[in-house]
């Protein structure tokens, strides 16, 4: 496993982070608690010490399951979780107010069975609450010992000027990035540079399309979010373009004796300096597959090829 020390923090984390969205056990087809608990155990065996979740994943289920799975090993890991997304009657709203942060954090700590969160992340800025009020509350919670550091997620380029005064205070910035999704790359790179923070990517396997398990006939049951058109990676022309990327990855994987998943993650780690790839898994073998990305690198030629074909698609 590869590790890095986060900027602005006394935290050393694995460059593979186990993502907790599927652990919410909602919208990912059939999922089983025993598999997630086994995946957490597998993470320890592989040297993964970084876990990412959010209070909205399964409306708290992901945090509850992560807390259960970590148990007495909690002190051995770094937990990154998020606040600010509310879902009521199927409708999503954003709330970044200090009052909501205070309530949300206490609920998170209870679900995670811990006294503190290592990295507490503004999931989506509501664009109403002034950033200085949010940062002041984060600092208050830090001084109270409930959080150690904080991060920012899904910040668009146009929003960055509002956060620029807080350079050096955030340790991670997150957004979607993979060979199947390059559309947020400028936002992500700019956020990292503006705030002097490490990049963490979500959707790192394109919701699974980069694993090589799917073809043009990919289909999912109604209880799997990927059945919806909004998950564009598995629909229409976007699916066809993604499959072209997969074909380009195959000889590279063969040359290195690696899997397609590990090549997809290696691209992130090599293309984005000092980055962390967040990988959501439903079963322990998926994490073992992805972990093979460590200990080697893409050649400059391979990196250029994948960069070009993923931009073209």
Which residues are known to be catalytic? 57
What is the DSSP-derived secondary structure letter of residue 139? H
Q: How far is CA 209 from the centre of its chain?
A: 16
Distance in angstroms (rounded) separating the CA atoms of residues 192 and 199: 6
Range 309-312, long-range pairs (CB < 8 A, 24+ positions): 309/244, 309/245, 309/248, 310/179, 310/180, 310/182, 310/245, 310/267, 311/182
Helices (H) and strands (E) in the chain, counts: 10, 12
Residue ranges with strand state E in 35-154: 50-52, 78-83, 85-88, 91-94, 117-122, 147-153
Residue with the two structure tokens 């396997």: 205
Q: From CA 294, how far away is CA 264, in angstroms rounded? A: 12
CA atoms of 5 and 269, how far apart (whole Å): 14
Report d(CA 156, CA 62) in Å as an integer. 26
Task: Give the integer Cα–Cα distance in Å for 143 and 147.
Answer: 8
Tokens for 128, please give them.
């109403």
For residue 262, CA distances in Å to 48, 153, 269, 288 come to 15, 24, 10, 10
Angle of the 300-312 helix axis to the 236-256 helix axis, nearest 10? 170
């Amino acid at each position: 496993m590869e590790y890095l020390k986060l900027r602005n923090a006394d935290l050393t984390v694995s460059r593979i982070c186990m993502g907790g969205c599927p652990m919410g056990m909602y919208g990912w087809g059939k999922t089983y608690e025993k598999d997630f608990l086994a995946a957490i155990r597998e993470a320890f065996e592989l040297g993964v010490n970084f876990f990412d979740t959010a209070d909205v994943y399964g409306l708290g289920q992901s945090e509850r399951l992560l807390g259960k799975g970590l148990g007495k090993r909690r002190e051995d890991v770094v937990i990154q979780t998020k606040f600010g997304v509310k879902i009521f009657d199927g409708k999503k709203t954003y709330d970044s107010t200090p009052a909501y942060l205070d309530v949300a954090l206490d609920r998170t700590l209870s679900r995670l069975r811990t006294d503190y969160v290592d990295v507490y992340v503004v999931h989506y800025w509501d664009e109403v609450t002034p950033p200085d009020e949010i940062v002041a509350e984060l600092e208050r919670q830090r001084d109270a010992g409930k959080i150690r550091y904080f991060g920012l997620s899904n910040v668009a380029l146009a929003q960055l000027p509002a956060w620029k005064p807080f350079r050096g205070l955030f340790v991670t910035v997150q957004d979607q990035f993979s060979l199947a999704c390059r559309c947020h790359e400028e936002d992500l790179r700019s956020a990292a540079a503006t705030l002097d923070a490490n990049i963490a990517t979500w959707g790192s396997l394109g919701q699974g399309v980069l694993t090589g398990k799917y073809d043009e006939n990919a289909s999912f049951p109604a209880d799997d979010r990927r059945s919806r058109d909004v998950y564009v990676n598995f629909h229409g022309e976007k699916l066809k373009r993604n499959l072209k990327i997969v074909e380009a990855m195959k000889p590279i994987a063969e040359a290195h004796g690696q899997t397609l998943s590990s090549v997809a993650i290696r691209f992130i780690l090599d293309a984005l300096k000092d980055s962390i790839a967040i990988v959501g898994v439903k079963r322990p073998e998926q994490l073992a597959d992805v972990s093979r990305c460590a200990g080697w690198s893409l050649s400059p030629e391979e990196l250029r090829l994948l960069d070009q074909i993923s931009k073209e698609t």
